[in-house]
Amino acid sequence: MQLQENIPLAPLTTFRIGGPARFFVEAQSAGDVQQAATFAQSKNLPLFVLGGGSNLVVADNGWPGLVLKVAILGIEQRLGHNDEGKTIFDAGAGEPWDRFVSQAVMAQCAGVECLSGIPGSVGGTPVQNVGAYGQEVAQTIESVEVFDLKDGQVRELCPEACGFHYRSSLFNTSERGRFVILRVAYALTPGGEPHLAYADLQRHFEGRETRPNLAETREAVRHIRARKGMLIVAGDPDSQSAGSFFKNPVLSESQYADLERRASAKGLTLPSYPGLTAQSLENSRKVSAAWLVEKSGFARGYGFGHVGISSKHALAIVNRGEATAAEVLALKDQIQHRVEEIWGVHLEPEPVMLGF
Ligand SMILES: Cc1cc2nc3c(=O)[nH]c(=O)nc-3n(C[C@H](O)[C@H](O)[C@H](O)COP(=O)(O)OP(=O)(O)OC[C@H]3O[C@@H](n4cnc5c(N)ncnc54)[C@H](O)[C@@H]3O)c2cc1C
């Protein structure tokens, strides 16, 4: 384990914002994770686990404790199938997520093709139950291997134990900060058809006579994401972001009715989306946060000091160069305030805030 001091965190995030970590360690194995945890405990330092830094806003003053970057690599396809005929892939938490998706698609295994192009690491995906275009990792995760910081044990969590919901799991709610994810096993469908449930994807393939295969679906998803600034492309000014800054609100029946009333009073039609995982609210509806942001006066390309809204997607706050975390938070507050005032809906930020 190589301990480093005062390491700038901004270059380790997609937002490229924020101060340094007082201590920094890159862990290539479970043993490294254990040593880092022991070091943090012995010095009474707060520990933060870093993946690909793609869902993160780091405070301008940085982080006064230890940042543990998980760099455990390796993707293995197990021989044979499980009881349900699925092929199991074991992936190290430090593997780039999109490399894993590419490998699964090349092996003709379905289940994650719609999650192509999402930045970050394999280990980051269970944390907020990553999802896009009608798929989310809760549908394919077989198990998650973790290092438990509470007792120093390595254990395997089944999907039920992970408590997956829309953009949440026990890793970012009830047990936040307790587990370091070491590996994730995904159960994929060999020879399976691509999932083409979302309108964007259906439009992309409109007029085609043959059904697209997994590789074509992956390319289509990456193409659609690039158009929306949701793919990291070197040199694209809209790429310096943490992706969607707000979660799509999940509303109860009465909240939804109230929002619809407000929209129709303005002569507007409210777009809503099918939910994915079982939600705690019965008859709940997921509405578009991007729509709420745009209809509150924050158009694409909106500028605010060194930050702004992506010119391609209303939901992404972008760093236009030299931005500070304080500016990001000020814009976030402004958006939340206006959306609540006009639509009566509270927008919850999606990225993790570190050091505030
Ligand atoms: C352009 C862009 C597009 C995006 N599109 C999507 C999208 O379509 N859908 C979606 O769901 N998300 C999307 N995201 C958000 C982000 O990519 C995902 O949430 C991703 O899974 C985060 O992984 P990461 O490794 O970068 O995590 P980080 O940003 O490093 O960390 C995020 C959180 O996960 C925790 N964490 C990370 N790794 C581990 C680990 N090994 N063990 C324990 N905890 C860990 C961290 O402590 C932190 O709390 C997008 C982001 C960007 C920048």
Determine which residue's CA is closest to atom 19 belonging to ligand 1: 55
Whether ligand 1 lies within 6 angstroms of the CB of 135 is answered as no
**Measured CA distances, 238 to 60, 108, 319, 324, 338 (Å):** 21, 32, 8, 16, 23
Q: Say what the pLDDT of residue 277 is.
A: 46
Point out the ligand 1 atom lying closest to the alpha carbon of residue 231: 1
Whether ligand 1 lies within 6 angstroms of the CB of 232 is answered as yes
Length of the chain: 356
203-240 per-position pLDDT tens digit: 999 999 999 999 999 999 999 999 999 999 988 989 99
Has residue 280 got a pLDDT over 80?
A: no
179-183 mean pLDDT: 98
Name the residue of 33, 57, 63, 127 whose CB sits within 8 Å of the most ligand 1 atoms, as the mutation to test its pocket. Answer: 127
Is 167 tagged catalytic? yes
pLDDT band at 286 (very low <50, low <70, confident <90, very high): confident
Catalytic residue among 219, 294, 340, 350: 350
Catalytic residue among 95, 136, 142, 167: 167
Is 300 tagged catalytic? no
Name the residue of 49, 50, 54 whose CB sits within 8 Å of the most ligand 1 atoms, as the mutation to test its pocket. Answer: 54
In percent, how much of the chain has pLDDT > 90?
Answer: 88
Q: To which residue do tokens 């404790």 refer?
A: 65
Whether ligand 1 lies within 6 angstroms of the CB of 248 is answered as no
Residue 326 in tokens: 């304080």
Spatial neighbors of 176 by CB under 8 A, at least 6 apart, are: none
From CA 243, how far away is CA 347, in angstroms rounded? 15
Q: Say what the pLDDT of residue 278 is.
A: 43
Selected residue with higher pLDDT from 269 and 274:
269
Number of CB atoms found within 10 A of residue 287's CB: 22
Q: Say what the pLDDT of residue 282 is.
A: 63
Has residue 273 got a pLDDT over 80?
A: no
Is 113 tagged catalytic? no
Has residue 276 got a pLDDT over 60?
A: no
Distance 126 CA to ligand 1 centre (A): 9
36-77 per-position pLDDT tens digit: 999 999 999 999 999 999 999 999 999 999 999 999 999 999
Q: HEC profile for the chain?
A: CCCEEEEECHHHCCCCCCCEEEEEEEECCHHHHHHHHHHHHHCCCCEEEECCCCCEEECCCCEEEEEEEECCCCEEECCCCCCCCCEEEEEECCCEHHHHHHHHHHCCEECCHHHCCCCCEHHHCCCCCCEECCEEHHHCEEEEEEEECCCCCEEEECHHHHCCECCECHHHCCCCCCEEEEEEEEEEEECCCCCCCCHHHHHHCCCCCCCCCHHHHHHHHHHHHHHCCCCCCCCCHHHCECCCCECCCEECHHHHHHHHHHHHHCCCCCCEECCCCCCCCCCCEEECHHHHHHCCCCCCCCEECCEEECCCCCCCEEECCCCCHHHHHHHHHHHHHHHHHHHCCCCCECCEEECC
Mean pLDDT score across all residues of the chain: 94
Whether ligand 1 lies within 6 angstroms of the CB of 115 is answered as no
Name the residue of 34, 55, 201, 309 whose CB sits within 8 Å of the most ligand 1 atoms, as the mutation to test its pocket. Answer: 55
Q: To which residue do tokens 């492309």 refer?
A: 233
Whether ligand 1 lies within 6 angstroms of the CB of 50 is answered as yes
Contact 97, 120 (CB under 8 A): yes
82-92 per-position pLDDT tens digit: 889 999 999 99
Whether ligand 1 lies within 6 angstroms of the CB of 132 is answered as yes
Model pTM? 0.95
318-352 per-position pLDDT tens digit: 999 999 999 999 999 999 999 999 999 999 999 99
Residue 154 in tokens: 């390595």
From CA 124, how far away is CA 83, in angstroms rounded? 27
188-200 mean pLDDT: 95
Whether ligand 1 lies within 6 angstroms of the CB of 134 is answered as no
Number of CB atoms found within 10 A of residue 72's CB: 23
Point out the ligand 1 atom lying closest to the alpha carbon of residue 125: 21
